[in-house]
Chain A
């Protein structure tokens, strides 16, 4: 009896070994992930990392990707571009990492994209927004599993035109760095396509990380523009909103447009007034009208809350999309590869022809590596269920309507947008229930 048992195990082992050889899968899939663990942007990086830990654990529990477990290695973007670059190369050339998720800041993406290309490393830009990277240069190894700045800003204008169409004057208070400047350029360019005669009354770019906006606020109070755009995030946005509400700026009848505010709502609590147009850089929200009751999503929200006691914000969803996209990419590539473990090249190619779904709608990947992710915006509203404002009058805007087609440059393309897309029946709106 014993003998048979021993024999059985030996055979089993032999077989196991045999199968292992046949597929020659790696023992684990090392994934380098850059995220901000220090510096102001850690308001995104830390939740992003939390989500990564959570989701990777789950994936591995379910057998990882095609039976291969994912083992993440994190790089802190906060140590500065050059140090990050060294660290990135250490991962690739010392630890043999062939797949990376980088990065949060567009600056980091700018540094890493060409390096990844040269080192033949599959890089998924998991959170950075700048559309320029994929529009200026064609990459083979670099893809983005989420929308880009153009999609976000054009959708924002669309939502503004749908909800508060009659306005004449607009002002901007953006952080003085690339995103703040570029997003304003895109916003204004698009807006002009709808309202050629719109008047810009003030362009203010307080320095990144400014701690006092009282002068900007006074100026807005003195000018009373109809619309104020503010694409800032983190401490800057919190400070602005808090000071503005203390100063009663929100009481005057101005429409505030804050495309990144979803990531600040819980922190701001009641400082954030009702009726502000907010978005979350994509189409994902813990109260997503279509997926909020989807058990997978509910479960994620619950787990994330118990881990960080905060509701998930957009970077966590972007992380989910990156991992989900990577998984789908590998699986499609594996099929195409006759079940064999694919090379980064094969995955990179596969990731340009596939679709995947995380906690929102399906994201469709394009041949230029850009993911087509719809956009969700809404109006802030106070509700008894939450100690902070939530999004009401949500609208889901299909990505293909608001993204520059392959090979076109966004700043020029937005000027060509036809106002009549406002009448499209594909713009679905939902109330908070």
Chain B
């Protein structure tokens, strides 16, 4: 495969990886704080997409400039995160915190099933989209292949901002340190006077918003249809598992691996494209059973 194809594969992989990362980031964040793998996270992605699409359509109907769609996407995502996130945390997660891990999984799975159908009842099964903003931002050409600025610049930069922003929040701000504390040891943090339930609520809202943001940013380039939630859920799991649970920076690298691996596959052996995420995950876990970036914790006895 020659240099230009290599370049193309890179270009294609990036924006996909960026979306994947945003969603996985939310998932891994929630896991870190609650120690629950939220199976409903995929629905947040889908809902984010639908809400954003609805906003976009409203804006288009109102005849406002499509540029407004960009902020609308973000706002839509944040709203989705706040509403659904709070409902999830208050209604479910904090109530199953002490339950058997299996029941926790099943609980979030139930939430997923419910959200999926609600979403279908609200938005129906016709595909949704808001593509105007993309055409507006225009395209740029690399190795005489045309890319949209939106995919090549907007999405990846949002992902980078999210990563750096979250890093800064967790390490530099007081509230962020509380989150980190709860992540490391809930009991101790609580003992030190951290309001754990407030922290979890906050974290889950952020995590949910990130998931929704993934969907919102996808809306302009893809059709939002029933089923994208489940799809994205499995993929973001693959990312999180590959990176190691709760690994933020790791998730970025895992997402890149999977995103790029996928696009290279389309050029080299299209038939394995679908399998790439799983193959990568299996390969990594073969070598590092805890995922790339988590250390094997020897149990204190």
Contact = CB atoms under 8 A, between A and B. Distances in A.
Interface string A242-266: 1100111101000000000000000
* Of B9, B11, B127, B148, most A-chain CB atoms within 10 Å: B127
Interface in B1-49: 4-5, 8-9, 11-13, 15-16
A262 to B, nearest CB: 16
Contacts of A39: 125, 226-227
Contact of B139 (A215, A242, A246): A246
B223 A212 contact: no
Contacts of B274: 176, 207
Interface string B159-181: 00000000000000000000000
A242 B221 CA distance: 7
Contacts of B145: 218, 221-222
A431 interface: no
Nearest to B16: A212
A214 B12 contact: yes
A73 B270 CA distance: 42
A251 B146 CA distance: 10
Nearest to B4: A222
B221 A38 contact: no
Contacts of B120: 38
A91 to B, nearest CB: 23
Interface stretch (B193-201, B202-210, B259-267): B259-267
Interface in B222-241: 222-223, 225-228, 231
Contacts of A204: 266, 270
A271 B131 contact: yes
A223 to B, nearest CB: 10
A83 to B, nearest CB: 15
Interface string A32-46: 000000111011001
Contacts of A271: 131
B223 A215 contact: no
Contact of A212 (B5, B124, B150, B222): B222
A207 B273 contact: yes
A248 B139 CA distance: 8
Contact of B226 (A38, A238, A248): A38
B100 interface: no
Given A218-B12, A247-B148, A211 B222 contact: yes
Contacts of B221: 212, 214, 239, 242-243, 246
B11 A218 contact: yes
Given A214-B16, A243-B221, A209 B231 contact: yes
Contacts of A43: 125-127
B154 to A, nearest CB: 13
Contacts of B270: 202-205
A52 to B, nearest CB: 17
B135 interface: yes
A215 B125 contact: no
A40 B8 contact: no
A39 B230 CA distance: 12
A38 B228 contact: no
* Of B218, B263, B270, most A-chain CB atoms within 10 Å: B270
B147 interface: yes
Contacts of A238: 127, 129, 223
B125 A38 contact: yes
A222 B5 contact: yes
Contacts of A235: 127, 223, 225
B183 interface: no
A234 B127 CA distance: 8
A40 B135 contact: no
A310 to B, nearest CB: 9
A42 B150 CA distance: 30
A206 B222 contact: no
B275 to A, nearest CB: 10
15 contacts: A39-B227, A46-B124, A205-B270, A214-B221, A215-B12, A215-B262, A218-B9, A218-B145, A238-B127, A239-B127, A239-B223, A242-B221, A246-B148, A246-B150, A267-B127
8 residue pairs, one from A and one from B, having the closest CB atoms: A235-B225, A42-B125, A215-B266, A215-B12, A248-B146, A211-B222, A235-B223, A235-B127
